[in-house]
Amino acid sequence: GQQLNQSPQSMFIQEGEDVSMNCTSSSIFNTWLWYKQDPGEGPVLLIALYKAGELTSNGRLTAQFGITRKDSFLNISASIPSDVGIYFCAGRTDSWGKLQFGAGTQVVVTP
Amino acid sequence: NAGVMQNPRHLVRRRGQEARLRCSPMKGHSHVYWYRQLPEEGLKFMVYLQKENIIDESGMPKERFSAEFPKEGPSILRIQQVVRGDSAAYFCASSPGNYEAFFGQGTRLTVV
């Protein structure tokens, strides 16, 4: 079956630092999505990527769709306390089917 | 424009009872996905439905679990004869049919 590996598993950073996380897949994806989940809440969509090589920003967040279509990364610049949470990557092999999720990256920001 | 609505937010059931989880997709969305999340884990796909059709149920346990998305009304995830191992957060996501999917706030099922 498909494997979607997300790393790192957790990150402890100081406020103001940049954060970087990535996901790799054993299969070719045609969509990459990045979500953030706060405790007790549902995942919230941060960035959607549709084309290989695509680089998309949303405020301090930047994500890229890898050229091989088997990987994606998410960067958070100048982290702030509200960036705390679990970040998930998700990918699809077709337009309509299920999203495969990574195991998540827990981000902890200290003042 | 209301988001994906799930209810109840919290559900407690005794072993052997039935659990019914409801999901109302965003307006205009005809694709619904159900996921299960155990504590400290990621989201595991269960089932993908379009109106009146089950498209992919490869993640659904073969027994006790069923899902529907009728022509009118919300999507329902039904768990019969619940066991302690069914305790989890169940999330619904909806999509208009393109690439993006938006999640509800989930139903936390506790089996006692």
pLDDT at residue B66, rounded to an integer: 97
Tokens of B62: 């073969």
Measured over the CA atoms of residue A76, residue A21, residue B38 and residue A3, the dihedral's sign is: positive
Query: How many angstroms separate the CA atoms of B77 and B46, rounded?
Result: 10
| Neighbour count for residue B111 (Cβ, 10 Å) | 19
Hey, is the C-beta of A99 within 8 angstroms of any chain B C-beta?
Answer: yes
Quick one: average pLDDT of B4-27?
Answer: 97
Q: What is the pLDDT of residues B34-80, one digit of tens each?
A: 999 998 788 999 999 998 899 999 999 999 999 999 999 999 999 99
Residue A18 has pLDDT above 80, yes or no: yes
Answer yes or no: is pLDDT of A13 > 80: yes
Say which of A42, A45, A97 has its CB closest to residue B100. A45
A85 touches chain B (CB under 8 A): no
Considering chain A, what percentage of its residues have pLDDT values greater than 70?
A: 96
Band of pLDDT at residue A1, cut at 50, 70 and 90: very low
Per-residue pLDDT band at A111 (split at 50, 70, 90): confident
Q: Do B33 and A98 touch (CB under 8 A)?
A: yes
Q: Is A82 helix (H, G, I), strand (E, B) or coil?
A: helix
Q: Is the pLDDT of residue A85 over 60?
A: yes
B56 touches chain A (CB under 8 A): yes
A45 vs B6, B55, B102: nearest CB: B102
Q: Which is more confidently placed, A110 or A73?
A: A73
Q: How many CA atoms lie within 13 A of B78 on its CB side?
A: 11
Q: What is the pLDDT of residues B75-105, one digit of tens each?
A: 999 999 999 999 999 999 999 876 789 999 9
- The whole-number average pLDDT for the span A84-97 is 88
Cross-sheet strand order for the sheet of B65-68: B5-7, B19-24, B75-79, B65-68
- Per-residue confidence (pLDDT) for residue B58, from 0 to 100: 93
Note the pLDDT of residue A2. Answer: 52
- Model confidence band, residue B1 (pLDDT cutoffs 50, 70, 90): low
Identify the CA nearest to B32 among candidates A92, A7, A99: A99
Q: Which residues does residue A63 pair with via DSSP β-bridges, in sequence order?
A: A56, A74
Q: What do you get for the CA distance between the two ends of chain B, in Å?
A: 37
Residue with tokens 């100048």: A78
Interchain pair B103, A104: CB under 8 A: no
Work out the average pLDDT over A45-59: 95
